[in-house]
Amino acid sequence: MKKNYKHCLIDTYCDGGYTYDDYKEWCEINDIEPDGEGSTAFWKWIGEQFENDWGDLDDNIKYSGNNGRCLVGGALGLWDGKHGVIPKIFGSLVEALDKLAKDYDAVQAWETEGGIEFHGLHHDGTDIFFIRPINERRAAGKSDDDICYAKHPYWYTKLYPEYIF
């Protein structure tokens, strides 16, 4: 039986796994008196951790050798149901992730065996996108439309954890 592979790249939903104890430890290391749990300073610290996480993710992808062109498709979760999106090709994986991550209340991204699954959470629901790296050798001579709408996709290239991190 084949096991589905899913590795979390980033998760900014709620507190993203950061705890008040993490905040207190950071304060202690930096000789700062911690404010109370749920304080503005605590949530500001969590926001700074998310910014650091995004920077780390971008850097890891840039230096992984896996920052080539990619195809993004998916669906928007709106108040009146799911709506498919027209597939789009981006010049790099970092460009696609940075574009997708804008204007969401929270984001989650997982590396899967076929690429990256991205969820953008907002007040109407969740937008779900799939990012697939384009295999340039297979896509040679093909137009962007041919790649976006191929029945036998030219973009198929698997990502594995050692390529990202």
Integer Rg of the chain from CA: 18
List, for residues 79-120, the tens digit of each pLDDT value: 898 888 888 889 998 899 888 887 888 888 888 877 888 998
pLDDT score of 74 more than 50: yes
List, for residues 11-20, the tens digit of each pLDDT value: 887 766 788 9
pLDDT score of 136 more than 80: no
Instruction: Give the phi and the psi of residue 84 in degrees, each rounded to 5.
Output: -65, 155
Confidence of residue 160 (pLDDT cuts 50, 70, 90): very low
Q: What angle do CA 62, 64, 67 make, to 5 degrees?
A: 50
List, for residues 141-150, the tens digit of each pLDDT value: 677 766 666 6
List, for residues 33-52, the tens digit of each pLDDT value: 999 888 999 989 988 888 88
What residue segments make up the domains of the chain, in order of their start?
7-165
**Rounded Cα distance, 75 and 125, in Å:** 11
